[in-house]
């Protein structure tokens, strides 16, 4: 693939990405109109309603303008990362979000690493010992991991390691130092990583088994190539496309799963902010959080697609 | 020498037709949940909402198999009663998604052209956004009820079925029997409904089991977050949320509904995988 073809592909995908985000942002903006009750009430939340406040809200949201104009004005601010003021916290939404980011980011990266490391190890072990009890155990764990809701895993871990054994703290995200964070977020990250581990193990196992049935693996074996080299250079290298696809899916699952896990472990992250804002009808925060997660997911999907070109030269020919 | 020259044979896999113990157990779990959903309140030793404020947070005992919660309600009875809402919602979602997915998928795969492009663009859009997040935001902001949550999840689940059935319909489109019917002048919708659709039913059914498991987990996640189901209802997700704060007094208030969700979902996942393996490839030999 020439550089020009790559640029054309990238341009097309970016255009699609912008279109997708426009659709999502439009839906998210319409939320305030779909919410039950009066629009001004919805925007003011449960706070008191003075004429000045109502006037300020009407001016802020351009409520005297037609719907599409309102959306475009809102979008203009949103593009500049201005999502208005949180109704409940009376602070800029961007500041509130930035404040919550560190916990969620730490938890997300930690959970993702757990999923990738455990999932790869489990998948490789199952593929190499295919048909044995190791394989059956790994596949069984994977099915159980996919079937168990994140919050149920979290609760069981909380009970066993937090309460019965008392090894880990039960509540909160700890001091902002790295070691304390690590200690407080270990259980949540493991719980968050279980679904991803299952996904990763399933995909890795299937890809490796298919790879090991190829003639070149049999031929490499007959030439006396070592088992480790076969695994790394012949097996995993050729299974990288499905593995990276799985990793992308794990990131999405981790992002949405953190909403549930933060609730389970009472962590003050972005997910907890989303749920409390929904309960308080704090629509600007809900809008900003939804857009933030949607942007992250869409960008991750694009990066995964782009990585195929780097991983597998055959995809560049198309 | 001949042994060495023989082509390497792959490890013989087990015949997919014979169910293993695990698959048998899965169907047993499913049957148990169905029985509880139909006759749960009759089987339960106590009423699911009967409070006994003199006997709150009791440990598991002969009188209360899984103990009682903070209002003295019997946890075991509530688990049995919760099977109803755990089964009906996902069932409606999986069947609704199957119906919409079959209709759109078959039409897209068989007709092609603009219809296909329009349907598949919609599917791509639905795939690009994280499902659980959309469900949380929509149901949460609209203060949706249980059935509104079910409706949202049907819309979010249908694209998966559409994609699978479109692929299968494209495969069938080129087969001799479809061409023969077309030559005979049988109208398109009739070919689709009377001839193509029945060959794809097994695939649909297997997918419906897998969708059921996913919907069960998603619906439980929503009610865990306090969305959809009313507070105090005997719903597994809701019970888990309310038991979360009681986990150090009677852990079974939270662990039992968690296990109930996990086992039911695992049962449907395993059964679905097995059906997929057994049924999905069946039509191929006859072509």
Tokens matching residue A219: 């031929």
pLDDT at B94: 92
Cβ distance of A24 and B130 shorter than 8 Å: no
Residue B78 Cα, gap to closest chain A Cα (Å) = 17
Confidence of residue B282 (pLDDT cuts 50, 70, 90): low
Phi, psi of B234 (to 5 degrees): -80, 75
Residue B49 forms part of a structural domain: no
Residue B67 forms part of a structural domain: no
Confidence of residue B228 (pLDDT cuts 50, 70, 90): confident
Which candidate from A36, A213, A290 shows the least CB-CB separation from B10? A213
Give the residue from chain A lying closest to B262, CA to CA: A148
CA dist B248 and B225 (Å) reads 20
Segment B124-138 shows an average pLDDT of: 84
- Domain residues for the domain of B261 are 73-286
pLDDT at B91: 92
pLDDT at B280: 62
pLDDT at B51: 72
Chain B CB within 8 Å of residue A283 CB: yes
Cβ distance of B125 and A131 shorter than 8 Å: no
Cβ distance of B266 and A148 shorter than 8 Å: yes
- Which chain A residues are Cβ-neighbours of B130 within 8 angstroms? 252, 255-256, 293-294, 297
Q: Residue B150: CB partners within 8 Å, gap ≥ 6?
A: B89, B92, B93, B219
pLDDT at A48: 67
Segment B16-33 shows an average pLDDT of: 79
- Which chain A residues are Cβ-neighbours of B254 within 8 angstroms? 155, 159
Collect the ranges in chain A with pLDDT lower than 70: 1, 37-39, 41-48, 172-175, 318
- DSSP conformational letter for A156: H
Cβ distance of A275 and B254 shorter than 8 Å: no
B56-87: pLDDT as tens digits: 666 777 676 677 776 767 778 888 888 888 88
pLDDT at A121: 92
Higher pLDDT pick, A183 / B48: A183
pLDDT at A113: 93
Residue B12 forms part of a structural domain: no
CB contact residues (below 8 A), chain A span 107-146, against chain B: 130-131, 140, 143-144, 146
Domain count across chain B? 1
Q: Rounded to two decimals, what is the model's pTM?
A: 0.83
Cβ distance of A20 and B125 shorter than 8 Å: yes
Supply the angle between the helices B75-111 and B236-243 in degrees, to the nearest 10. 130
Cβ distance of A147 and B213 shorter than 8 Å: yes
Residue B53 forms part of a structural domain: no
Residue B63 forms part of a structural domain: no
CA dist B102 and B91 (Å) reads 16
Residue B154 has pLDDT above 90, yes or no: yes
Residue B287 Cα, gap to closest chain A Cα (Å) = 26
Q: Residue B15's CB: how many other CB atoms inside 10 A?
A: 7
Which candidate from B11, B130, B221 shows the least CB-CB separation from A151? B221
Confidence of residue B100 (pLDDT cuts 50, 70, 90): very high
- Which chain B residues are Cβ-neighbours of A158 within 8 angstroms? 247
pLDDT at A144: 85
Residue B268 forms part of a structural domain: yes
pLDDT at B57: 66
CA dist B266 and A118 (Å) reads 20
Residue B148 forms part of a structural domain: yes
Residue B12 has pLDDT above 70, yes or no: no
Give the residue from chain B lying closest to A258, CA to CA: B133
Chain B CB within 8 Å of residue A256 CB: yes
Residue B22 forms part of a structural domain: no
Residue B9 has pLDDT above 60, yes or no: no
Chain B CB within 8 Å of residue A28 CB: yes
Confidence of residue B17 (pLDDT cuts 50, 70, 90): low
CA dist B125 and B145 (Å) reads 25
Tokens matching residue A106: 């730490």
pLDDT at B255: 84
Supply the angle between the helices A93-128 and A240-264 in degrees, to the nearest 10. 130
Residues B69 and B113: beta-carbon distance below 8 Å: no
pLDDT at A122: 92
3-state helix, strand, coil in chain A (%, to 5): 80, 0, 20
Confidence of residue B271 (pLDDT cuts 50, 70, 90): confident
Give the residue from chain A lying closest to B261, CA to CA: A148
Torsion of Cα atoms, B224 then B230 then B234 then B237, to 10°: -10
Report for A307-316, B49-58, B150-159, B170-179: range of highest mean pLDDT: B150-159
The length of chain A is 318
- Domain annotation for chain A: domains and CATH numbers: 3-79 (no CATH), 96-317 (1.10.3720.10)
CA dist A109 and A101 (Å) reads 12
Segment B110-127 shows an average pLDDT of: 84
Chain B CB within 8 Å of residue A222 CB: no
- Which chain A residues are Cβ-neighbours of B258 within 8 angstroms? 148-149, 151-152, 155-156
Assign residue B239 the CATH number of its domain. 1.10.3720.10
Q: How many CB pairs under 8 A join A and B?
A: 129
């Amino acid at each position: 693939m020439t550089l020009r073809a790559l640029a054309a592909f990238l341009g097309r995908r970016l255009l699609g990405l912008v279109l997708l985000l426009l659709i999502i942002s439009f839906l998210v903006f319409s939320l305030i109109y779909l919410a039950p009750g009066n629009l001004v009430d919805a925007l003011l939340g449960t706070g008191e309603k003075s004429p000045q406040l109502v006037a300020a809200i009407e001016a802020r949201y351009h409520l005297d303008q037609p719907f599409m104009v309102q959306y475009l004005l809102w979008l203009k601010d949103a593009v500049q990362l201005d999502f208005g003021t949180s109704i409940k916290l009376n602070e800029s939404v961007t500041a509130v979000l930035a404040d919550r980011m560190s916990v969620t980011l730490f938890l997300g990266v930690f959970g993702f690493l757990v999923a990738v490391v455990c999932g790869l190890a489990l998948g490789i072990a199952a593929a190499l010992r295919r048909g044995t009890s190791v394989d059956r155990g790994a596949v069984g764990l994977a099915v159980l991991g996919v079937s168990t809701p994140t919050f149920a895993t979290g609760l069981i871990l909380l009970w066993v390691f937090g309460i019965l054994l008392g090894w880990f703290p039960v509540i909160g995200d700890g001091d902002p130092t790295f070691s304390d964070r690590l200690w407080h977020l270990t259980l949540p990250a493991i719980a968050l990583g279980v679904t991803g581990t299952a996904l990763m193990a399933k995909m890795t196992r299937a890809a490796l088994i298919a790879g090991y049935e190829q003639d070149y693996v049999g031929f490499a074996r007959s030439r006396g190539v070592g088992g480790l080299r076969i695994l790394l250079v012949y097996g995993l290298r050729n299974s990288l496309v499905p593995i990276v696809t799985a990793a992308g899916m794990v990131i999405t699952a981790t992002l949405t799963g953190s909403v549930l896990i933060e609730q389970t472990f009472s962590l003050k992250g972005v997910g907890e902010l989303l749920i409390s804002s929904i309960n308080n009808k704090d629509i600007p925060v809900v809008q900003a959080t939804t857009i933030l997660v949607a942007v992250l997911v869409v960008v991750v999907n694009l990066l995964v697609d782009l990585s195929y070109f780097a991983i597998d030269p055959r995809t560049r020919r198309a | 020498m001949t042994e060495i020259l023989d082509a390497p044979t792959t490890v013989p896999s087990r015949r997919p037709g014979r169910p293993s113990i695990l698959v048998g157990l899965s169907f047993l779990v499913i049957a148990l949940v169905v029985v509880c959903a139909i006759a749960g309140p009759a089987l339960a030793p106590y009423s699911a909402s009967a409070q006994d404020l003199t006997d709150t947070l009791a440990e598991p005992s002969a009188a209360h198999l899984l103990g009682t919660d903070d209002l003295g309600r019997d946890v075991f009875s509530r688990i049995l009663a919760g099977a109803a809402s755990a089964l009906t919602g996902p069932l409606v979602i999986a069947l609704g998604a199957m119906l919409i997915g079959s209709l759109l998928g078959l039409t897209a795969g068989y007709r092609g052209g603009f219809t296909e492009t329009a349907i598949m663009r919609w599917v791509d859009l639905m795939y690009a956004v994280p499902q659980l997040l959309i469900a949380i935001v929509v149901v949460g902001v609209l203060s949706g009820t249980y059935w509104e949550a079910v409706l949202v999840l049907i819309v979010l689940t249908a694209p998966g079925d559409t994609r699978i059935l479109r692929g299968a319909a494209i495969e069938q489109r080129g087969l001799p029997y479809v061409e023969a019917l077309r030559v005979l002048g049988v109208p398109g919708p009739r070919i689709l409904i009377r001839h193509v659709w029945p060959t794809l039913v097994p695939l649909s059914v297997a997918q419906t089991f897998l969708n059921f498991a996913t919907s069960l987990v998603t619906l439980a996640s929503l009610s865990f977050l306090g969305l959809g189901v009313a507070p105090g209802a005997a719903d597994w997700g809701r019970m888990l949320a309310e038991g979360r704060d009681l986990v150090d007094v009677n852990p079974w208030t939270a662990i039992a509904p968690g296990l109930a969700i996990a086992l039911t979902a695992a049962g449907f996942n395993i059964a679905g995988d097995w059906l997929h393996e057994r049924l999905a490839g069946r039509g191929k030999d006859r072509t």
